[in-house]
Structure formats: structure tokens, C-alpha cells
Amino acid sequence: MDIEFNKNEDKMNLLISAMEKKLSKIYLGGGKTRIDKLHEQGKMTARERIDFLIDKGSETIEIGAFAGEGMYEEHGGCPAGGTVVVIGYVSKRQCIIVANDATVKAGAWFPITGKKNLRAQEIAMENRLPIIYLVDSAGVFLPMQDEIFPDKEHFGRIFRNNAIMSGMGILQISAVMGSCVAGGAYLPIMSDEAMIVDKTGSIFLAGSYLVKAAIGETIDNETLGGATTHCEISGVTDYKCKDDKDCLTRIRNIMSKVGHFDTAGFNHIEGKAPKKDPKEILGIIPDARDKQYDMHEIIYRLVDDSDFEEYKEGYGQSILCGLARINGWSVGIIANQRKVVKSKKGEMQFGGVIYSDSADKSARFIMNCNQKKIPLVFLQDVTGFMVGSRSEHGGIIKDGAKMVNAMSNSVVPKFTIIIGNSYGAGNYAMCGKAYDPRLIIGWPTAQVAVMGGAQAAKVLVQIEVASLKAKGEEITPEKEAELFNKIKDRYDSQTSPYYAASRIWLDAIINPLDTRKWISMGIEMANNSPITKQYNVGVLQT
């Protein structure tokens, strides 16, 4: 290994260590004191419930662990958005599990909580995954009710989705393991099966204090909406459970008896490990963004047997396209090449930039994969499309539109991994969040923005300087440098992968060594949903 490799590896390990440190804090939810209080009540935490529910030793992936990171500090924060969302296996069936974290403001719903829950339901609907709700929530966080209650993508959309999923035949199981109040009370009852834990679970539209204030009736919460009431009097719930473990065991028993449905039929064989050591990925990604690397070397360490069947290898070389397998699943890979290459015409092409020939090649490859029913994997490290008179006269807009059109209309599932840069229209063409990837994840090296911090700061400084000069103010080089650094620092903070993940622009930030697991589990879940639409790209200019 050369010294450059070792420097890169050290930098990546530092980023991974920082990520894991953040996660270890997030996993504590509202903190040890609140966890201890939950245990005193005879309850398990959200993460303990999920660990008990899923098959021992099976793989899991967590969606939105960084949701809410750095947000709502004036309210004490909202770790993981107050909800834990995991895709895992229950009685050997892949499911998505949504568990309220009662250690975070009693499981109250912040705006990001609603967004995260809707993302979980979106994944369930797109992939026809059974969804299990472990309910323990005080309802809407009232100080922010205007940001979570009334709009189309707010709290009420959850129950609309319950109804839609029911109509689609997607299994929904709810376990009321704590509070379930107000509008939230509809969620378990709109599920296929609902169970409630005795003495700790309760369901009501209004608690005892509100009932007293509204109609003058004096009643305790257990009598109003406890397990005995809803299992023996109202009939609202189907199973009465003695404690959390009994409740979770009943869910496992139900899942063990659920039948299987048609699949999409994506090609799958027994998987093989890459021939080239995946751990070497950590030393390949440069320690600085202005350095080059060969994306082939990343692909060889992600795909089975390091076998990559490259499409149009000598044409449009700023994007690599080709067929491979990941844990046995057939995939079509579209990846930004991050080193400077020379085209067959003798022209130099910058790494990470999309040129006309690359966009044209990618569009054709995407169409081919749709025809063959092969899922698509996008490996992003892109600064955008090539600019300048030569590109404009060559029809870069036309070819870029062709690629976006082919990708947008794909009927096969898409998965996006942001390795490095994800800037501007490059984010769009390479299947950014707006283009419905089934999963979109970032490495700790990811950045998502209109453009890089330095570029953006230069543009904004030019505008600011021109404005100040127009007012007659004198701008010294030192003042301009100070302005540049101030703008760059602010912009850089917004390009961080944690900024993106906190707002669920990314489903997760992951260790690069977990990439194969995320893609293979993603395709497995997508295989639950047969393709019912015909691939049609509409009008494509040639």
C-alpha cells in the first residue's frame, strides 16, 4: 500500500468513527435517565422492542437514524426524529418496523417525525412490505402543531396511507405498547390487526383530563381506554398482551403464518464475495475533493466476484455503465468516473462531470435495463453537467434531458449511493431524492448541494461585493476574504451529509463497507412488488 492510500484510509476511518460516535448518542434517545424510567414502568425502549422482534442474527438496515440531527435545539432536540424505523426479518419475512421512542418527549410527533413516518409508509407501499407499528406516543408536539397537523404531507397523511395500504393488500400490524391518543388512535384501528399491552397501553381520542374539561366526566385513563376496555368492551383491539415481550411474540407468531405473494422476478443466484478486498475502498476515496480516483476500483470491490460487464467502455467515459451482481442480485450500475479521461476524439474529460456522450450512453443503458427487468444502482460523485460554448453547441441540454427522461420513467427499482459530490443537475440526472430511488444513502464523504462551497461562495461574494460597491462602500482584499470565508463556512455546513440526513434527503449515512448489504436488502424488498407498468420514455430527441 502506498502512502496516499494510507492517508485516504486514515481520513475515511476518522469520518466513520465520527459517524459512529454520533450514532451511539442517537441510540440513547432521550437519555439514560428516561430509559431507566421506562424500564421502571415495565416497558422496553423502542430499540429493545425491535431487537426482540426481529430474527436473531439476521441483517437489518435503519432508515433515518440521523433524522432531526441538529434540529429543534430550542425544544431539547429530537434524536432520530423520535421514531426508530428498521427494515429487518420477522419470522423470516422481510418487514419494515416503525417504533415510537417514548424517551423523546414521550414519543410526541415533531415535524420531522411525521416526515420520517411517511417515508416508512412510502417504502412499504413501493415495495409491498408488511409494516409493523410499535405505538407509544403522546401525539402531536403541540408547540409546533402548525408544522405537523394540517398540511398534505403532515400527520393526517399517515391515516390516509393506512387506508391506501389496506386497499393494496399490504399487511399492517399495530401494537399499542404505551400511549395512543387523539388522531393517532386511528392508526392501530386502521391496521389489519391490533394488540394492546395490559396496564401500559391505552387508546383514546381524549385523555381523562380533557374529558373532564370537555364534558365534566371523571374517569381514569385505564378505564377510559386501557387493554381490558378495548379487548372486552369496545372491541377496538384484537389481542390483550400481558407485557411487551408477550406482545412482540404474538407479532412473530402472526408473521410466521402469513402467505407469500407474487414477486417482481428480479434475477437472483447465489452471491459471491468480491475478489478484490472491499476494505480497500477506505483507502481509495481521496482525502480531498480535488483529487482523482478510478471509480472502476470502487465497483470491483462492491460487486460479486469483482465482475463488471462494462457497456460502451470506450464511449462517454465520464460515466461508467455496466452489468454486475450484488449478493447474487442482477444490477445495472451507472457511476460517475472521477478521474480525467481522454475520449476517442482525443478530448480530455474532467472527472465527475457529465458530458453529452456520457448522458447519451447512460440513457441507452437505462432503457436497456428496463427492457431486461434489471434494477438500477447509481453511484454518485458528480459536480454537474459540462458547461461552456462547446458543450452548449453540442447539445448538452438535449442529451442531459434524454438521460433524465429515461431515468425518471424507469419502472425497475432504483437505488442511489452518494459517494462524494452530489451537485446541481448532476444530482438530478444520477437519481437524486426527487426521482424516487427506493433507497438513497450517503457515505460519510457525501455532499449534497447546488454546487461546491468554494464555488458558491465565489459567486455569492461577487454579488455581495458588487452590491456594496454600488452603495459606494470600499472593499479591501482582506474584507473580501473575510466575506468569502464566512459565506463558505455557512454553505459548507449545509452540504454536510448530516444536514441532508437530518432532513431525510438521505435515508441513511453508512459505513462504505455496508453498501452491499443495503443494496441487496433493498432489491430483496423491491422484489416483493411486481412491475405492473410498461416502460415508456415518451419523447426522446435524437
- CA distance linking residue 155 with residue 366, whole number of Å: 36
- The DSSP result for 444-496, as a single string, is TT-EEESS-HHHHHHHHHHHHHHHHHHTT----HHHHHHHHHHHHHHHHHHHS
pLDDT of residue 249: 98
Q: Determine what percent of the chain is predicted with pLDDT higher than 90.
A: 70
> For 97-129, how does the pLDDT look when each residue is reduced to its tens digit (9 = 90+)?
999 999 999 999 999 999 999 999 999 999 999
CA dihedral sign of residues 348, 352, 354, 359: positive
Cell of 283: 483507502
Angstrom distance (rounded) from CA 475 to CA 468? 8
Between CA 373 and CA 269 the distance in angstroms is: 15
* Contact criterion met (CB below 8 Å) for 194 and 174: yes
pLDDT score for 319: 96
pLDDT given at position 259: 92
Q: Which of 26-30, 231-235, 252-256 has the lowest mean pLDDT?
A: 231-235
Averaged pLDDT score across all residues of the chain = 91
- pLDDT-based confidence at residue 502 (cuts at 50, 70, 90): very high
User: Higher pLDDT residue, 481 or 438?
Assistant: 438
Say which amino acid occupies 8: N
pTM as predicted: 0.93
Tell me what pLDDT residue 481 has. 82
Q: Per DSSP, what are the bridge partners of residue 349?
A: 341
Q: Which triple of cell numbers denotes residue 357? A: 456522450
Which residues, including other chains, have CB under 8 Å from residue 367's CB and lie 6 or more apart? 406, 535, 537
- Going by pLDDT thresholds of 50, 70 and 90, the confidence category of residue 257 is very high
What value, to the nearest 5°, has the Cα angle with vertex 509 and ends 300 and 459? 95
Q: If you write DSSP's letter for every residue of 501-542 in order, what string do you get? A: HHTTSSSEE--GGGHHHHHHHHHHHHTTS---SPP-------
88 three-state secondary structure: strand
Residue type, 338: R
pLDDT at 351: 80
In this predicted model, what pLDDT tens digit does every residue of 266-312 receive, in sequence order? 999 999 999 999 999 999 999 988 899 999 999 999 999 999 999 99
Mean pLDDT, residues 243-272? 96
CA nearest to 41, candidates 240, 210, 200, 245: 200
Report the pLDDT value the prediction gives residue 392, as an integer from 0 to 100: 67
Q: Give the position of cell 457525501.
A: 446
What digits encode the pLDDT tens for the residues 77-104? 999 999 999 999 999 999 999 999 999 9
- Tell me: pLDDT of 524 over 80: yes
The neighbour count for residue 320, using CB atoms within 10 Å, is: 27
Three-state DSSP class for residue 165: helix
Percent of the chain with pLDDT over 70: 95
Q: Confirm if 243 and 306 have CB atoms less than 8 A apart.
A: no
